[in-house]
Amino acid sequence: MAVEVPFGAGSVVVASAPVKGLADGTEIGKSQLCRDTAYHYWAFVRFYSPLNSSTWGQATLDGMSGSYTLQAVGEVTSSHTGNVYAQGWTPITR
């Protein structure tokens, strides 16, 4: 099974983890830590369905590239209150 990776050939998914609702644990997407052939890293979040109009999704890259310990974090947040509704994070990768 091929893994679809954003940003083209030579890119790989280093780690992946589900993004789950905090209230009920429903999986709504995947948080991915990606890398290209030059060892540039980025975080990416894929949602299985469009988010509703009062929420927004974000992927962040946590860690220090000099030490190569990185983690991708995906979240869904309320645009009105700032409350986090769903989260998922990859294992810390070295």
Domain boundaries, the chain: 12-89
What does each of the 94 residues of the chain score in pLDDT, given as a tens digit?
445 555 667 889 989 999 999 999 999 999 999 988 888 888 989 999 999 889 989 998 887 656 667 888 899 999 999 999 999 988 887 6
The secondary element (H helix, E strand) that includes residue 42 is: strand 41-47
- pLDDT score, position 20: 95
State the amino acid at position 47 in one-letter form. F
29: β partners: 19, 47
- Which two three-digit tokens encode residue 81? 């209150």
Rounded to an integer, what distance in angstroms lies between the CA atom of residue 32 and that of residue 46? 8
Report the length, in residues, of the chain.
94
